Every structure is written in C-alpha cells, then in structure tokens.
Structure 1
Amino acid sequence: MKFLRIGFVLMLLIIMFPISSHADTHDSWEKLDQLSDQALQLVKQERYEEAKRMLDYFSDEFLKTHFDDRNYSMDELRVITVTHDSAVEAINSTSISFEERVKKATQFRLVIDAIRSEHQPLWSEMEHSIMTTFNQMKETVVEGDSNTYQHQLDLFMAKYDMIQPSLKVDVSPLTVQRLDSHISFLDSYRNESLKTSTRLQQMEQMELDLRTIFDNITEDDADPSLIWVMISTGSVIILTLSYVGWRKYKGDKQKRVPRRDSEE
C-alpha cells in the first residue's frame, strides 16, 4: 500500500504541474487583455496621457509574461509589437484624428484578444457589419453606381483594416494574403473602366475567402486542456482501483488456501 500511495501522489503531481503552468499563463494573458481594453476605453474618452501610461504598463507586464504552455510564433509577437507601437504613436501624435486614434487602439485590443481567446475572438463579431458592407458594395457594381461604389469600397476597406492584424493571428497566412490581394486589386482599379464581369469575378472569389475566415471561427464547447485533465485523472483512478482490486483478490485467495488445507 505504501508503493500505491507514492505512485498516486506522483501521478497527481504530474497532472497538477501543467495545470498550474497553464493557469499562470492564462492569468497573465487575462491581465494583458484587460490592460488593452482599458487603454482603448481611455482613448475613447480622449484621456490620452492615461492611455499612454496604460500601454507602457502593458509593455512592462508583457515582458514579464512566461509563454511556457504555448510556442508563440515570431509573426504573432511581431503583430503584437507593431499594433502596440502604432497605438502609442497615434496617441502621441497631435496631427491624427480622434477616429484614427480609436482605430489604432481597437486594432491592438483585437489582436490581444485574438491571442488570448480560444473561442470566438472579438474580431469575429464584426462579421455581420463587414459582410453587409461587402454585399452593398457588390450591389453597386451590378447597378453600375460608380459614386456609391467608391464610398462602399472605402467603408469596407476601413472595416477590414480594423481586423486585418488579428487575422494574422487566427487565420492562415495564405488566406490573409489572398484577401489582401483582392482588396489591393479593387483599390488599384477603382477608377479604371473594368468590365463589370471582371470586377464581380474578383469580388465573388473575395466573398468566398471572407466567408471562409468567419466560418472557420467556430466555438468548441470542450476545452482541450480540460479533456486532458479528465483523461489523466480518470487513468489514475482506474489504475488505483485496479491495483486495489488486485490486492484484494490476492488477499482473498491467500485466505482460501489455508481453509482448503484445514478441510483436507
């Protein structure tokens, strides 16, 4: 039984160590996520000095974060750095409009949420707004309304630009590159007399790529780390019960042997 108790304790330590590591990292990202949101709210309130201090504090806390439970790619870390620096630059600049400052702070906020969120990142909630604008833009092409098309294209590009950094975190690079090339094409040839069929063909392919990125962000009700814990814990329980049962069976068998001998 002493061997059983030691083995059981060791198994619990093996199980609990990764859980503790995951919890610590999760708490760190939870704090970073809150800091990015607080910075955004301060920018919306035009409290720029406080927002700047909040972003500086974020930078300090980010450098203290341990990434033991996940290997973050250089692209992900680069996106965090670029959007953070862009937000700080926008806040410090006196020549940038209020709307642009909010946009830069929002981009940063969405990126941090995309890094932290395992399901349904905030950027995915813009699906309805983006697809509605896209469909309206597509209708203006069919109707041949050039002026409205220009306006809808600008509106669509502004909305897409808001989530584009986050896509680099959650979506395959190839898909992001395709979307960027579609938008670049539409923007470059916005004033050209392209055939309606040519522009629509580009937009139809673009629509497929847009729907792909939103459809692939689906909520998984089961947390993989929780599943691993359940399996590990269940294995320990099964092994323990099996061992106890075997010891009991062996003990009962040994008791029956003397009884048989006495009967003979």
Structure 2
Amino acid sequence: MKLKFLSVFLAIFMIFPLYANAKEVSSPLTELDRISDDALQMVKLSRFEDARKLLEYFSRQFVTLTSNGQQFSMDELRIVTISHNDALEAVKSESLEQPEKINKLTKFRLVIDAVSSTHQPLWTEMEGPIMSTFQQVQEAATNKDNVGFHENFNSFLALYDMVYPSIKIDIPATRVQALDARINFIDEFRPQVLEQATSQKELKALESDLKSIFDDMTEDEADPSLWWVIISTGSIIILTLSYVGWKKYKGDKEIRKDFKRDFRE
C-alpha cells in the first residue's frame, strides 16, 4: 500500500501542470473558483504559505461578493464557510501531512465548483472512483474477505467524505439523509454485513442510491474547460484513498488488537 501511495503521489506531480491563469475570469464566482484551484495547486507543490494567502484572499473576496448582493442559500453559506475554514486550518497546521492537506483543499475546491458551476458539477465526475471502490467493497463482502472489506469500505468513506459537502449543495436534503442512513448502517454493523446475506442487501440498496444521484446530475457534456480539473482531481482522489484508507484501516486494526489484549487480561 505504501508503494502504491508513493507511485500515485509522484505521478500527480510529474504529469499534471499548474492551472494558474489558464481560465479567463468572466464573473466574481469564476474568480473564486480560480482562487480555490490555485490554493490547491500550491498545496500540491508544498507551498503552504502561498496557499494560506490565497485562502485568506478568497475569504475577503467572498465577503465582498455577498455584500454586493450575490445570493447564496443558508446551506451554501454554511458549507462554503466550513470547508474554507477546514482548508485554512489544514495549510496552517505543522503536524498535518501533505496528503491530508490535499484532501482538505480538494474538498474545498469541489465545494466552490458546486456553488459556481453552471454545467455538470465537478464532483459528479468522481462517479468512476466511487463506484469502482464500492464494487470492491461488495466483492469483499461476497467473498467474506474481512481485511479487504474493511480496507475498501474505509477507502469508500474517504472518497464519499471528500464529495459529501458538494453533494449537499446539489442534492435535496431528504435524499442525502437517506443516503447517510444506509452508509451509517453499513459502517456500524460491518460484522453483520459480512456474515449475513440479508444485511448485504443494504450494499445493493446503497449502490442503487449512489447510481441514482449520479444519473440525475449527469448531463450529456461537461464544460470542456473543466476536463483538466476532472483528470487532476481524480488522481488526487486516488492518492487520498490510498493514503487515508490505509491509515484508517491500520488505526482500526490497532484498536481491535488493543481491545482483544485488554479482554484477555
């Protein structure tokens, strides 16, 4: 897993160029979109101080935009504010590792695109990684592969967490709540899902819900100017899944070992 993580990490920095100044600014929202992307690029280059300055500049521009009459819903304001604060705290942190900082900035980047996009939102292009990872979860459950199930489900959760704020912007709250309920059930009752065929039906139901959300949001054609972001962000997602999923599984494994040791004592 470490080898996979390092290889994907290097590929991102070798293959994908910077995007700064590649898009023409046509509106205040487009400018905010550009700033969020520039901040992400700075984090990818480990230029955390530059990323911090860009995020602080974003905050000033966002306040100006709202005071000038730009309309946002209360949910949009809350989601943008939270994701921005998380991104800013991440770049300021001296203890947070770079992949986790990239995670926070990517989440923020997707949120701003969801708010500003008039085309297919960028987060919908993550259907491939999400559904591919979830298919591995289902295969592991069918094969009673305990390690594979936990590892792949943790990777799925990391990916879902990254797009979750953007989903909340574009999808009605009732559908998001239903999706959350299924995911929380599977997460809480992992042993039953692995052992009981009836519980595995929840996996099928969740797969159907996920496909339905993506199908409803998909348009025939994405904005061509977004394709570079789709490719780059997809690779960042893979990087984050490799790192966060592995790290979370290792942590869960240590907790289970400690529990068993305490029980024996």
Tell me the TM-score normalised to structure 2 length. Answer: 0.70
> What is the CA-CA distance between 1:26 and the residue it aligns to?
6.2
Matched with 1:206 is 206
Matched with 2:40 is 40
Q: Deviations over 1:135-182 (max 9, x none)?
A: 111011111111111111011111111100100111111111122222
Matched with 2:251 is none
Matched with 2:184 is 184
Aligned counterparts of 2:190 and 2:121: Cα–Cα separation in 1: 32
Aligned counterparts of 1:187 and 1:220: Cα–Cα separation in 2: 34
Aligned counterparts of 1:119 and 1:80: Cα–Cα separation in 2: 19
Aligned counterparts of 1:67 and 1:130: Cα–Cα separation in 2: 37
> What is the CA-CA distance between 1:190 and the residue it aligns to?
2.1
Structure 1, gaps ≥5 residues long: 1-24, 222-264
Letter in structure 1 aligned against 2:145: D
> What is the CA-CA distance between 1:191 and the residue it aligns to?
4.0
> What is the CA-CA distance between 1:183 and the residue it aligns to?
1.7
Matched with 1:259 is none
- Structure 2 vs 1, CA of residues 220 and 131 (structure 1 numbering), >3 Å: closer, same or farther? closer
> What is the CA-CA distance between 1:188 and the residue it aligns to?
1.4
Aligned counterparts of 1:69 and 1:196: Cα–Cα separation in 2: 54
Q: How many residues align?
A: 197
Structure 2, gaps ≥5 residues long: 1-24, 222-265
Matched with 2:165 is 165
- Structure 2 vs 1, CA of residues 74 and 148 (structure 1 numbering), >3 Å: closer, same or farther? same
In the TM superposition, 1:1-264 aligns within 5 A as 27-66=27-66, 71-192=71-192, 195-219=195-219
> What is the CA-CA distance between 1:67 and the residue it aligns to?
8.0
Letter in structure 2 aligned against 1:91: V
Aligned counterparts of 2:92 and 2:130: Cα–Cα separation in 1: 29
> Does the aligned pair in 1 maintain the 2:32–2:62 contact within 8 Å?
yes
> What is the CA-CA distance between 1:192 and the residue it aligns to?
4.9
Q: Deviations over 1:64-94 (max 9, x none)?
A: 1158887421011100000000001111111
Letter in structure 2 aligned against 1:147: V
Higher Rg: 1
Letter in structure 1 aligned against 2:86: S
> Does the aligned pair in 2 maintain the 1:119–1:218 contact within 8 Å?
no
> Does the aligned pair in 2 maintain the 1:119–1:217 contact within 8 Å?
no
Give RMSD over aligned pairs: 2.1
Structure with more relative contact order (C-alpha pairs < 8 Å, separation 6 or more): 2
Letter in structure 2 aligned against 1:107: K
Aligned counterparts of 2:152 and 2:76: Cα–Cα separation in 1: 31
Aligned residues with identical type, % of pairs: 43
> What is the CA-CA distance between 1:207 and the residue it aligns to?
1.0
> What is the CA-CA distance between 1:199 and the residue it aligns to?
2.8
Moved more, 195-204 or 96-105: 195-204
- Structure 2 vs 1, CA of residues 67 and 27 (structure 1 numbering), >3 Å: closer, same or farther? farther
> What is the CA-CA distance between 1:114 and the residue it aligns to?
0.4
> What is the CA-CA distance between 1:41 and the residue it aligns to?
0.5
